[in-house]
């Protein structure tokens, strides 16, 4: 039976996808991914490039801080049918490491075991070329998928090595990736008015009130995709996802004009969980 596997370098997808949409690379924190639509577009490529093949699965490769817990985006992707997520790690400089080696290992192993006859690879990195070559030696046809302009975002040697090449235009990327609206100004305006809203006198209670309003405003501004990602994250983990924790800490710190102490951080996280559960329940 002919089978096709898909290998997705998420770092390339976000970096080049944001460039295709806006003309420049944007931080991951400013982007919103619709995982289901992204997977649907990937399956469409399989149907176009390997019409006689059955999809084995989609491998999604990404970095995680410490190589441990996934972000909300990663949890949402991992919970989808036909998807297996593989996590490398993010180093202290914010660089993704270990992902290319995971792609190469899986590609070679599936080819060696004759588990696949075709592979769709969304990546631009020269480092995966050796995996492509070895897989082809085992009889696998390699379909390279890029993001416009792929000639500038993918290794020339990798493009030459592939059996076929496909390029996603900005219109396709825009169907599942978007730039998040910056809510920082709106949150600061709410916090600026907090003295009117919070009736407690200055002190601990007043500061906790500022934190609660800041967190509630933050959660209100999350997209439906963000909330779905948090729900997916809570299926296997507890507490506040690390990516959102990092966003809230400076927001609440700005509201107080200082860093939060441990008790205030616990309060912030408790407010977050309460606010998200209210949105899910609503």
Q: What tens digit of pLDDT does each residue of 245-272 get? A: 988 999 999 888 899 999 999 999 999 9
State the Cα–Cα distance between residues 275 and 255, nearest whole angstrom: 18
Question: What pLDDT sits at residue 151?
Answer: 76
Question: What pLDDT sits at residue 9?
Answer: 95
Q: What is the mean pLDDT of the chain?
A: 87
Question: What pLDDT sits at residue 182?
Answer: 66
Sign of CA dihedral 112, 117, 121, 127: positive
Nearest to 233 by CA among 62, 30, 70, 67: 70
8 A C-beta contact, residue 221 and residue 187: yes
For the stretch 242-252, what's the b/e string if a residue is b when 16 or more beta carbons lie within 10 angstroms of its beta carbon?
Answer: bbbeebbbebb
8 A C-beta contact, residue 214 and residue 191: yes
Question: What pLDDT sits at residue 96?
Answer: 60
Give the alpha-carbon dihedral of 238, 239, 244, 248, to 10 degrees. Answer: 180
- pLDDT above 90 covers what percent of the chain? 60
Q: Up-side HSE of residue 53: CA atoms within 13 Å toward CB?
A: 26
pLDDT at 201 over 80: no
Nearest to 168 by CA among 28, 4, 2, 37: 37
Q: What tens digit of pLDDT does each residue of 119-139 get? A: 999 999 899 999 999 999 999
Sign of CA dihedral 147, 151, 154, 156: positive
Question: What pLDDT sits at residue 70?
Answer: 78
pLDDT at 189 over 60: no
Provide mean pLDDT across the span 171-184: 85
pLDDT at 282 over 60: no
Q: What tens digit of pLDDT does each residue of 12-36 get? A: 999 999 999 999 999 888 899 999 9
Question: What pLDDT sits at residue 183?
Answer: 59
- Cα angle 82-68-78, degrees, rounded to a multiple of 5: 15
DSSP conformation class of 65: B
Domain spans, the chain:
3-178, 182-281
Q: What tens digit of pLDDT does each residue of 131-177 get? A: 999 999 999 999 999 999 877 889 999 999 999 999 999 999 999 99
Looking at the DSSP bridge assignments, the partners of residue 6 are 58, 120
pLDDT at 93 over 60: no
Q: Are strands 177-179 and 164-168 parallel, antiparallel or unpaired?
A: unpaired
State the Cα–Cα distance between residues 254 and 189, nearest whole angstrom: 11
Q: Are strands 141-147 and 118-122 parallel, antiparallel or unpaired?
A: parallel
pTM of this prediction? 0.80
Helix 204-220 / helix 262-281 crossing angle, nearest 10 deg: 40
DSSP secondary structure of 242-269:
HHHHHHHHHHHHHHHTS---HHHHHHHH
The DSSP H or E segment spanning 85 is strand 83-87
Superfamily (CATH) of domain 3-178 = 5'-nuclease (3.40.50.1010)
Q: What tens digit of pLDDT does each residue of 215-239 get? A: 999 998 888 888 988 998 898 888 8
């Amino acid at each position: 039976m002919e089978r096709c596997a898909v290998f997705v370098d998420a770092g390339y997808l976000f970096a080049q996808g944001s460039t295709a949409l806006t003309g420049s690379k944007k931080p991951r924190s400013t982007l919103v991914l619709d995982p289901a639509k992204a997977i649907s577009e990937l399956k469409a490529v399989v149907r176009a490039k390997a019409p006689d093949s059955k999809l084995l699965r989609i491998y999604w490769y990404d970095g995680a801080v410490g190589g441990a817990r996934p972000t909300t985006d990663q949890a949402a992707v991992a919970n989808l049918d036909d998807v297996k997520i593989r996590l490398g790690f993010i180093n202290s400089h914010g660089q993704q490491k270990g992902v290319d080696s995971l792609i190469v290992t899986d590609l070679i192993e599936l080819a060696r075991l004759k588990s696949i006859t075709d592979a769709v690879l969304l990546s631009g990195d020269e480092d995966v070329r050796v995996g492509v070559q070895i897989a082809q030696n085992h009889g696998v046809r390699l379909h390279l998928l890029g993001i416009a302009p792929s000639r500038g975002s993918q290794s020339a040697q990798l493009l030459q090595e592939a059996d076929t090449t496909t390029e996603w235009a900005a219109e396709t990327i825009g169907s599942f990736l978007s730039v998040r609206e910056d809510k920082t100004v709106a949150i600061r305006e709410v916090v600026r008015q907090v003295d009117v809203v919070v009736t407690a006198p200055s002190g601990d209670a007043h500061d906790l009130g500022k934190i609660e309003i800041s967190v509630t405003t933050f959660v209100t501004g999350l997209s439906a995709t963000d909330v779905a990602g948090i729900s997916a994250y809570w299926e296997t983990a507890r507490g506040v996802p690390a990516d959102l924790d990092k966003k809230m800490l400076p927001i609440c710190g700005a509201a107080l004009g200082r860093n939060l102490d441990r008790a205030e951080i616990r309060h912030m996280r408790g407010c977050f969980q309460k606010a998200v559960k209210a949105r899910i329940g609503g």
